[in-house]
Each structure stands twice: as structure tokens, then as C-alpha cells.
Amino acid sequence: MDLNTKQEILEVLTMPEETFWSQVAPAAREVCQKQFGTSLLVTAMLAYTNICKNQCLYCGMRAGNKIPRYRMSPEEILPLAQRAREDGLGRMFLLAGEDQNYGFEKLLTLIAGLRQQGYTIALGAGELSRTQYQELHDAGVEEYVLKFEMSHPDSFQRLNPSTTYAKRMGCAQWIKEAGMKLASGNIVDWPGQTLDELADDILLMKALEISWAPNIPYLPAANTPLAKEGGPGRFLLNNKEMAILRLMMPAIKITAQQPGINPKTGLADETGNLNAIACGANLLFCDLLPDAQADAFRPIDQRHVSGLQHCEAVAQLSGLTLDLGGE
């Protein structure tokens, strides 16, 4: 099944649910299996600070929200990472709010320590300078995660008042010029988003030649302005986007850690994860954060990602094996 044009994307986004699950989702899953075999990729994930200078209208960690804040040092993080390494995990996704006072040298020290432990590293730390992206690549970061969130500049500017669309796109270009893979994606079905905008989001991911699509549906976060404008995004639209992305870009990673209808299970919802896998998603996370920090890292409410045991359960239910990346 070929999908190349905006019209073809819109046809999938608007097709009846039954048609999607009987025709498009199986085609996407088949493409995923041809590319990755019967394996689900697993990456360790650790959010090292939830402090953020930005005021994004959708994010629970926006600077104006009164939540417990934390900042973890390399000395706290590296023992957690070493235990995960001993469990066979070999990929690390470090993420953070845009914490201006964490210290770039401290971040480089952390990356050096993780590299010594044998990890391949993906990092998401927001908008940085061109020189800093190059330093991160040179220190051993292979992939940088910088979501564009929404592809229309006017929507982006309204919902991300602390930066500009031009700056976000400029940073994406610097990341690629530095030699890192670019992981990027959108928020699916936020209040007010049109299907036309959603189709443009998908086309932007294609144009950016992303390595990983870390997209999830819009999930309201407490005390955020956007939560007052509408409820959760439609999970079906998110499933459709994942299938479209798999068909358009067979080799990318697509986040399978997705919510289900029970909000209390967060992103560790088995049904949500299995539906994503059925649409061609193939990446699960093993969260390394201690409980206190895990509860405080809340860009969305009820984030819950869970650990390796959850990944093993999803693999068993889906009839797939886990690739921990540790060999």
C-alpha cells in the first residue's frame, strides 16, 4: 500500500474504523515485520530533570505549574543505568525539561559515563545552540529527540509561546548537520487541530527524514490552559497516524507505548500498546526513574511507563520477542 500524497493520507484519516483495522493496519504491521522481524525494540528511559523554563500550553511541567521539581546528578543516574545494563538493556533515552541551570558540562559528563557503560544514547533536552548539538554528537549522542508538536506555524506559536516555529525548525536542522539522527513528531488531535493540520504533520515528519516518531495522542495535563479547551485526542487517529508513518517510512522506530481507555494505566496500558503494535509501532520503554521522580515527571497526567516486566508481558501477548539492544 503506497501513501505519498496529502490526499492519500487524508483518505486513511477519514476512513471508517472497520476498514482501517481490516486493511491499513495489517499492511503496516506486515511492513514492520519485514523491516524488524518479530522483535520489539526496548530502550531504557530516564528523565534526569523536570525543571523547565517554557510555558507550553499543553505540558504539565510548564514553568508556571506548581509541581514537585527535581534534578538528578550523574552520580545518582549512573548506578541506575548500570543496573539496567546488567539486565541486558543497551539503549538509553535521556530526556528532560528545558532546564537552563542543569549545566551543559554536567550533561556531557553523564553522557560520557553512559557511553563507558556501553549504551547507545538518544537525548531529548530541547532547543540548544548549534555548537552544543555538535558537542553532544562528539560526546557520543547518536539520536536527538526534538518534537515539533504541530506543523502549522500559527498553531505552534499559540501553544508554544516561549519559542518560535522558525527556531524549532532551525534546531532540527542543526541536529542533523551535527551528525545525529533526528527523532521528531507531533501531538495527535489536540483541541482545535484539523485533519488537514494532522496530514501536514505527517508530511513534515517525512520531509524531516526522522529516525523515530515519538508521537502520542493529546492527553490533558492538570492546570494547563489547553486542558480547558478539550479532552483527550482520539486514539483511533493516533493509530491511523502510526500506520501511515510505517507505510511511508518503513525503517523508522514508532513508539508503541501508548494510552488506552483506562487513564490510570497511562502509557503502560496493555490494550493501547497492543493496538499500536498492530498498526506497525515497535518501540517500548523501560523507565528507570525512582518512584518519587517518576510521579513528578508529568508532561501529561498518569504518564506511567513501567518497567521491563511490562515490556515482557506485552511481548508475550503480541507473540513477539524483545530486543533489549544489550549485545
pLDDT in tens, the chain (327 residues): 789 899 999 999 999 999 999 999 999 999 999 999 999 999 999 999 999 999 999 999 999 899 999 999 999 999 999 999 999 999 999 999 999 999 999 999 999 999 999 999 999 999 999 999 999 999 999 999 999 999 999 999 999 999 999 999 999 999 999 999 999 999 999 999 999 999 999 999 999 999 999 999 999 999 999 999 999 999 999 999 999 999 999 999 999 999 998 888 888 899 999 999 999 999 999 999 888 788 888 888 777 777 899 999 999 999 999 999 977
Q: Which ranges constitute the DSSP H helices of the chain?
A: 6-14, 17-19, 25-36, 74-86, 104-117, 130-139, 153-159, 165-177, 195-207, 235-248, 270-278, 291-296, 308-318
Partners of 212 in beta bridges: 183, 253
User: Whose CA is closest to 46, among 88, 91, 112, 109?
Assistant: 91
Q: And the C-alpha cell for 115?
A: 557511553
Q: What's residue 88's pLDDT? A: 96
Q: What's residue 1's pLDDT? A: 78
Question: How many residues can be counted in the chain?
Answer: 327
The architecture CATH gives domain 6-323: Alpha-Beta Barrel (3.20)
For the chain, what are the domain ranges? Answer: 6-323
Q: How far is CA 322 from CA 127, 206, 311, 314, 316, in A?
A: 32, 27, 8, 9, 9
How far is 41 from 325, CA to CA, in rounded Å? 8
Residues in contact with 254: Cβ distance below 8 Å, sequence separation at least 6, in sequence order: 212, 213, 215, 242, 245, 246, 276, 280, 281, 282, 283
Q: Widest CA span of the chain, in angstroms?
A: 52
Partners of 121 in beta bridges: 92, 141
Partners of 182 in beta bridges: 144
71 neighbors 107 (Cβ within 8 angstroms)? no
What is the phi/psi pair of residue 297, to 5°? Answer: -85, 95
What is the phi/psi pair of residue 109, to 5°? Answer: -60, -40
Q: What's residue 258's pLDDT? A: 94
Report CA Rg, the chain.
18
Q: What's residue 293's pLDDT? A: 84
- The amino acid present at 167, given as its one-letter code, is K
Residues in contact with 257: Cβ distance below 8 Å, sequence separation at least 6, in sequence order: 267, 268, 273, 276, 283, 284, 285, 305
Give residue for cell 515539533: 148
56 neighbors 160 (Cβ within 8 angstroms)? yes
Q: What's residue 298's pLDDT? A: 83
